A and B are shown apart, each in its own frame.
Chain A
Amino acid sequence: MTTATQLPPGVRLVEPARAHDPYRDMDLLRFSTAGSVDDGKSTLIGRLLYDTKSIFEDQLEAIEGATKRRGETGVNLALLTDGLRAEREQNITIDVAYRYFATPKRKFIIADTPGHVQYTRNMVTGASTAELAIVLVDARKGVLTQSKRHGFIASLLRIPHIVVAVNKMDLVDYSQDVYDAIRQEYTEFAEKLDIKDLIFIPLSALEGDNVVSHSANMTWYEGTTLLHHLETVNVGADRNLVDFRFPVQYVIRPHQDFRGFAGRVASGTITPGEEVFVLPGGRQSRIRSLESADGELHEAVAGDSVVVTLEDEIDTSRGDMIVRKMNVPTVATRVDAMLCWMNDEPLDPSVSYILMHTTRQVKAYVSQIHYRVDVDTLHRQETDSLGLNDIGRVELTLAQPIFLDPYQINRVTGSFILIHPHTNVTVGAGMIRGEAKTTAELFAHGGGDQATAISPNVVWEGWNVPREERETRNGHKATVLWFTGLSGSGKSTIAARLERRLFERGCQTMLLDGDMLRHGLNGDLGFSPADRRENIRRVGEVSRLFFEAGNIVLCTFVSPYRDDRDRVRALLPEGRFMEIHVDCSLEECQRRDPKGLYARAAEGSIRDLTGVTSPYEEPVNPEFVARSDIHSADDIAVQLEVRLDADGILKA
């Protein structure tokens, strides 16, 4: 670097700021807005910008001038945001536009999505990066199908927070009855969707009621103003900080002695020294260092752009993925996904599209279209194609595997786009449900996703009181948490702590412990492979009964065989079986030896002890890995509770 004395006069060096400045260290919230043509969306955004003093004088003057030229009076706030000339001419927003404003509490990025023809495509685009969505409803018109469509897309794209802004309250005399009716109707509709946080705010964007300050016209409304909600809503907890995924973006090799893999952490966290796998192939190594231009890091977290170096020379390039040894994504060439079609030319099953997933590009064709969702009624319709703005469930067949997680738990490794091979245009956006299974595989697994599986020939009467009703009454979903791991790894301790936490927050729970069941129901069984298998089969059936009774069932069983665990998994609906690998080294388990089993095995008084004389098959793709040799049982219990919350289990 040139020193100051040699600097040309045109160059001014700037000292890096050292003092902490809260304005340099602000939180950022990305939200989307959607509304129909006359819901007043542009006015609402204009109002937010205007009232937070984010509009400059020259912009305001330009708009005053334009308002006058259109023969209107005052300031037409909508003109601030309707960008393109075509829109100004037709008075319609036609593409996603991004707006920026800040308050002393937060910075905001608005994805402003239009409400007309191309609207599903645009809404999906805007929603893909949003953490909160504002759905506008015109108080005079009530809940239109379009408002429902917005809610559906927001839930499909898994925006965790939704605000229904009941606008134009000034035109219904600020009537609480009107507001209550809209609120009730929309709440009923939203129960069919998967929305974590839904709130309603009555407002008038034109007059400014309840946008920035409380309205004197609606003293009956005791909730928050829109801006206050935007400034305070907690969005930090919505990221996946559990499953470390690092898609390799670019290899940096300035000289022979340095080989770094540049990329952005898609999810999870990682520290130097951790054991990792590189996909495809599963070559194993350790993280040597996490590099950045500002020096080495001691940890990298979801969202960070870093450079990773490994202990071993592994031939790795763009499109590969670095993951933790014990927590790997699904490697699949057949993918089950919800697909939104974004092009005038309909989906053509004979075309090999290019599928972009993280930093990987593979050829893919749509091998099956299961159904199309009518976004207004949420009904499923049979179809053999998808047209512009259609959303459907499809199966894709890929030329090479991708490394995926369900979109529900990972927005980065669960999303992809389809590109037309000739026009190079982005034609589709996909949200992965999982690896696609054939009908035969579905039957073998006892039905899989109950909502969509093809009915087998056996007629199943169903439970007298359906589980859904029990879940509604309990205020949370039923699920099975399956703790597997060596004896002494801490399964029972962790499960007991977690159950106590869940019970105290009002959940219906049941803990099934290996020893306990062997005293009664399974008292006739020993420890041979066949008996172990039967043991787990019975436990699986018992846990299913408790599950159907609406419980969060915590099962702690060594369960050494993969097949057995998968069989239990197959008894339960998708997303309701969490395999938790309690991972602890054999040495540590032997040191702890809470039941004296290892000591007895050493003496020879026990013949079959998992990990010593009989095998333990580690889970290939568990939902959760608990490193009980590193973390305390209490910490793991807290992490699991956070995870259950994030997965939406702790809500009805």
Chain B
Amino acid sequence: MSTQPQHHSYRKSHLAQLEAEAVYIMREVAAQFERPAILFSGGKDSITLVHLARKAFAPGKFPFPLLHIDTGHNFAEALEFRDWLAESTGAELIVRYVQDSIDQGRAVEETGPLASRNSLQIVTLLDAISELKIDCAIGGARRDEEKARAKERFFSHRDAFGQWDPKNQRPELWNIFNGRKAQREHFRVFPLSNWTEMDVWQYITREGIALPSLYFAHPRRVFRRGSMLMAESEHLPLLAGEATEERTIRFRTVGDITCTGAIESVAESVDAIISETAALRVTERGGRADDQRSEAAMEDRKRQGYF
């Protein structure tokens, strides 16, 4: 105790509180599970997870490999970033391919011009979890992203088939996390549950976390599809009436190229992105084709074992 009055600096800033909470969760995972892994999507949330994992176990190394489920529809920059991050942190990188699941007949590719491999990732992910005997997959999902996620737990139980039952979740009280499970069951753990998009950006700038260049404004050939701007790509054949043009854009999320929309932007720094985010009137996931399919789209995918 200092000789100063009690109440001065003991109240921590929101970022300090969120960081301490996420670090606590990371350590709970390491203590309660045998073979945990970080689900690495290449997006800023999973990059933030890796940063938090480093901080949680410093001066040691964090005890999780990075697992990337590759749809094959990648931005080249995202892969460059992934490999660089794995190398610079010394983390083990495990990649499993949706293409392999398709070739093995475990997943059937959607057809048509709006086909996406997004839902096929579920198969590859669940196969990887059972192949690698992963008992806990750490994900970067946040509760503010989407309505169905607002009720997600930090420690989210999945049955032996990888399914989530929203009506029968374990109550989660105080900061006590119950990671007990039967054989073949696993957990998804979300250390960023209480973070908002703004918190993540503010934390990135506070900590100086490197990101894929895709997040910053850059010129790119894009075309308009519905309300979204999509990147020109061999995986996205143009429909009648669509044409590409060069625009200055950036991405708010980084995922499968076929369902990640860009926004027009001149934000070249994190500070500029933060100002833009503060003024933006559309959610991050508003740029994702997969969520727009039905009002309950996310919930349906989650029940089946989506990230």
Within 8 Å of chain A (Cβ to Cβ): is B244? no
Query: What's the least CB distance linking A580 to chain B, in Å?
Result: 15
In B72-115, which residues have CB < 8 Å from any A CB?
75-81, 83-84, 87-88
CB neighbours of B173 from chain A (8 A) = 124-125, 128-129, 415, 417, 426, 429
- B176 and A639 contacting across the interface, CB-CB below 8 Å: no
Interfacial chain A residues near B80, Cβ < 8 Å: 8-11
A357–B177 alpha-carbon span in the complex (Å): 10
B1 touches which of A236, A292, A631 (Cβ 8 Å): A631
Is the pair A16, B194 in contact by a Cβ cutoff of 8 Å?
no
Q: Which residues of B contact A318 (CB under 8 A)?
A: 31
Measured in the bound complex, the distance between the Cα atoms of B169 and A121 in whole Å is: 12
Output the least CB separation between A490 and chain B (Å): 15
Partner of B14, one of A62, A107, A236: A107
The reply to whether B60 and A254 contact each other, CB–CB distance below 8 Å, is yes
Interface residues of A in 388-424 (CB under 8 A from B): 411-412, 415-417, 419, 424
User: What's the minimum C-beta distance from B89 to chain A, rounded to whole angstroms?
Assistant: 10
Q: Are B166 and A95 in contact (CB under 8 A)?
A: yes
Q: What's the least CB distance linking A606 to chain B, in Å?
A: 34
Within the complex, which residue of B12, B76, B176, B193 is in contact with A356, where a contact is CB–CB below 8 Å?
Answer: B176
A527 within 8 A of B: no
Stretch at the interface among B50-58, B116-124, B128-136, B235-243: B50-58
A505 at the interface (CB under 8 A from B): no
Q: Is B198 an interface residue (CB 8 A)?
A: yes
| Contact A293 B58, beta carbon cutoff 8 Å | yes
Tell me the bound Cα distance from A305 to B17 in angstroms: 9
Is B293 part of the binding interface, using a Cβ–Cβ cutoff of 8 Å?
no
Beta-carbon nearest neighbor of A83 in chain B: B147
CB < 8 Å neighbour of B11 from A27, A95, A124, A128 = A27
B234 within 8 A of A: no
Chain B residues closer than 8 Å to A15, beta-carbon distance: 208
The answer to whether A172 has its CB under 8 Å from any CB of chain B is no
Q: Is the CB–CB distance between B198 and A236 below 8 Å?
A: no
Known: A56-B280, A417-B178. Contact between A97 and B7, CB under 8 A? Answer: no
The listed residue (A56, A58, A303) touching B12 by CB distance below 8 A is A303
Which residues in window 204-219 of B have CB below 8 A to A?
204-216
Bound-complex Cα distance A264 to B281 (A): 37
Chain B positions within 8 Å of A86 at CB level: 166-167
Q: Collect the chain A residues with CB atoms within 8 Å of residue B281's CB.
A: 56-57
Check A635–B81 contact: CB distance below 8 A. no
Closest to A28 in B: B14
B127 interface residue (CB < 8 Å to A):
no
Question: CB < 8 Å: which of B5, B24, B212, B286 contacts A10?
Answer: B212
Residues of chain A lying within 8 A (CB to CB) of residue B1? 241, 269, 627, 631, 639
Residues of B within 8 A of A57 (CB): 281-282, 286
- State whether B150 touches A97 (Cβ < 8 A): yes
User: A504 → chain B, closest Cβ, in Å?
Assistant: 17
Q: Which residues of B contact A342 (CB under 8 A)?
A: 171
Q: How many residues of B contact A (CB 8 A)?
A: 91
For window 1-56 of chain A, which residues contact chain B by CB distance below 8 Å? 1-2, 7-17, 21, 23-28, 56
CA distance A419 to B283 in the complex (A): 38
Does B176 lie within 8 Å of A417, measured CB to CB? yes
Interface size class of A (residues with CB under 8 A): 35 or more
* Interface presence of B232 (CB below 8 A): no
Q: Which residue of chain A is the closest to B77 with respect to CB atoms?
A: A10
Q: A24–B201 Cα gap in the complex (Å)?
A: 10
B126 within 8 A of A: no
Give complex CA distance A107, B13 in Å: 10
Chain B residues with CB under 8 A of A249: 24, 27-28, 31
Chain A residue at minimal CB-CB distance from B79: A10
Interface core residue of B75, B81, B174, B210 (most chain A CB under 10 Å): B174
CB–CB B270/A14 < 8 A: yes
Pick from B15, B77, B299: contact of A84, CB under 8 Å: B299
Residues on B with beta carbons closer than 8 Å to the beta carbon of A627? 1
Chain B, 9-34, contact with A by CB distance < 8 Å: what is the 0/1 string?
Answer: 01111110111110110011011000
C-alpha gap A305/B20 in the complex (Å)? 5
Closest approach, in angstroms, between the C-beta of A354 and any C-beta of chain B?
7
Residue A94 lies at the interface, judged by CB distance under 8 Å to chain B: yes
Give the CA-CA distance A11 to B7 in the complex, in Å.
42
Is the CB of B202 closer than 8 A to any CB of chain A? yes
Complex Cα distance A252/B59, Å? 8
| Given A95-B151, A425-B170, A426-B171: A17 in contact with B180 (beta carbons within 8 A) | no
B276 contacts partner chain A, Cβ-Cβ < 8 Å? no
- Please report the C-alpha to C-alpha distance between residue A523 and residue B199 in the assembled complex, in whole angstroms: 68
Q: Shortest Cβ distance from A628 into chain B, in angstroms?
A: 12
Residue-wise interface mask of A (85-109) relative to B, using a CB-CB cutoff of 8 A (1 in contact, 0 not): 1101000001111111010000101
Residue A16 contacts which of B18, B167, B207 (CB distance < 8 angstroms)?
B207
Contacts of A1 in B (CB 8 A): 88
The chain B residue with its CB closest to the CB of A253 is B60
Known: A15-B208, A303-B17. A58 touches B6 (CB 8 A): no
- Residues on A with beta carbons closer than 8 Å to the beta carbon of B21: 305
Choice from A85, A100, A293 contacting B144 with Cβ under 8 Å: A100
Residues of A within 8 A of B11 (CB): 27, 236
The reply to whether the CB of B184 lies closer than 8 angstroms to some CB of chain A is no
Among B17, B18, B170, B283: residue with most chain A CB under 10 A: B170
Beta-carbon contact of B6 and A639 below 8 Å: yes
Q: How far is the CA of A66 from the CA of B174 in the complex (A)?
A: 35
Is A217 interfacial (CB-CB < 8 Å)? no
Q: B residues bordering A, Cβ < 8 Å?
A: 1-3, 5-7, 10-15, 17-21, 23-24, 27-28, 30-31, 54-61, 75-81, 83-84, 87-88, 143-144, 147-148, 150-151, 166-167, 169-176, 178, 180-182, 193-194, 196, 198-199, 202, 204-216, 270-271, 280-283, 286, 295-296, 299
Q: Please provide the 5 A-B residue pairs with the shortest distance between their CB atoms, ordered closest to farther.
A: A10-B77, A16-B208, A10-B80, A254-B60, A293-B55
18 A-B pairs whose Cβ atoms sit less than 8 Å apart in the complex: A1-B88, A10-B212, A12-B213, A13-B210, A16-B205, A26-B14, A56-B281, A88-B295, A102-B196, A264-B24, A356-B178, A411-B174, A412-B175, A424-B181, A425-B170, A426-B178, A429-B171, A638-B5
A-B contact sample (17 more), CB < 8 A, given A58-B286, A318-B31, A638-B5? A8-B84, A12-B211, A12-B212, A14-B270, A27-B14, A66-B295, A107-B14, A109-B194, A128-B174, A236-B7, A239-B10, A264-B175, A302-B10, A305-B27, A305-B56, A359-B31, A412-B175
